[in-house]
Amino acid sequence: MISLSARSRGQGWEKPPPELAKFRSRWRANVRFVLQRVIFRAVVNSAVTPSATVPRRVRSVRGPFVLVANHTSHVDGPLLAMSMPWTQARYLSTGVAADYWFDHWPRRVFVRWMMNAFPIDRGGSRKHSGTSRRLLRSGVPILVFPEGGRQKTGVMAEFKPGAAALAIGVGVPVVPAAIIGGHEAMPKGRSWPKPGRPPVGVVFGEPMISYEGESAVDYSARIQQRVKELYDEYHDEILGPGGSGEKESA
């Protein structure tokens, strides 16, 4: 069987240009390991009860990929990064709104060092257009939230096809992930999780690749369906049969 990383190895990845070299910096990754896996983990464990489910094939992925997940709260990015095996998460980069995270220096410093973040334009600007594709071509995996924003009601919104189009265009796998309990623990409008260390789980799915000739819209719908299946499958295990959320709302 051809491994999921065979397509990318066959293409060969470009050496990052100077402005992107920091995203593959080993010493920055070492700092990020301490921030994510020591400091942030301690903070998370004090506020919520986290869990992670990682299939064996996710651990075997080498090279860049697109991590796709539902978006429930501001802690989703760091939670996903610290839940993924370090071999795959070492250089994981997250696209964040430039007008919110990069226009205010404390937030900019936080996401750059915690999330290896790059800015994404909103409101029609194209200043940072193409960064995600260049990162993937430089061997940097990226995290994308295709809903386009945090959930307001706990119900998953339709995925925009950009992440699927990116994965098809560069020829990399997609790793789907479902965050369960994030909205219940820290709904939009809260700056800290609810008291009582509520459960929050991250469930990664088997890596996916696009079918020959599959459109970005169809691929995106298939990815969203897989994320929804993961959510439904593990919902009761993480939140309990009486837990609220998408499973009961859908």
* Per-residue pLDDT reduced to its tens digit, 125-171: 566 678 999 999 999 999 999 997 777 777 899 999 999 999 999 99
CB within 8 A of 60, min separation 6: which ones? 3, 4
Angle at the Cα of 41 from the Cα atoms of 39 and 45, rounded to 5 degrees? 125
Tell me which amino acid residue 219 is: Y
Angle at the Cα of 15 from the Cα atoms of 12 and 20, rounded to 5 degrees? 130
Residue 2, pLDDT score = 38
**Of 159, 149, 144, nearest in space to 226 by CA:** 159
3-state secondary structure of 235: helix
Yes or no: say if 227 and 158 are a contact pair by the CB < 8 Å rule: no
Q: Which two tokens stand for residue 204?
A: 């990664």
Residue 126, pLDDT score = 61
Residue 191, pLDDT score = 85
User: Exposure pattern of 43-52 as b/e (b: 16+ CB <10 Å)?
Assistant: ebeebbebbb
Residue 4, pLDDT score = 43
DSSP H/E element including 34: helix 26-34
Is the sign of the CA dihedral 111, 117, 120, 126 positive or negative? Answer: positive
Residue 128, pLDDT score = 65
Residue 7, pLDDT score = 47
> How many CB atoms sit inside 10 A of residue 13's CB?
17
Beta strands across the sheet bearing 93-97 = 49-53, 199-204, 174-180, 66-69, 142-144, 93-97, 118-120
Residue 190, pLDDT score = 87
Q: Give dist(CA 233, CA 20) in Å, integer.
A: 38
What's the pTM?
A: 0.88
| Segments of the chain with pLDDT less than 50 | 1-10, 247-250
CATH architecture of the domain with range 17-186+197-240 = 3-Layer(aba) Sandwich (3.40)
Spell out the domain ranges in the chain: 17-186+197-240
Q: CB burial class (10 A; 0-12, 13-18, 19+) of residue 86? A: middle
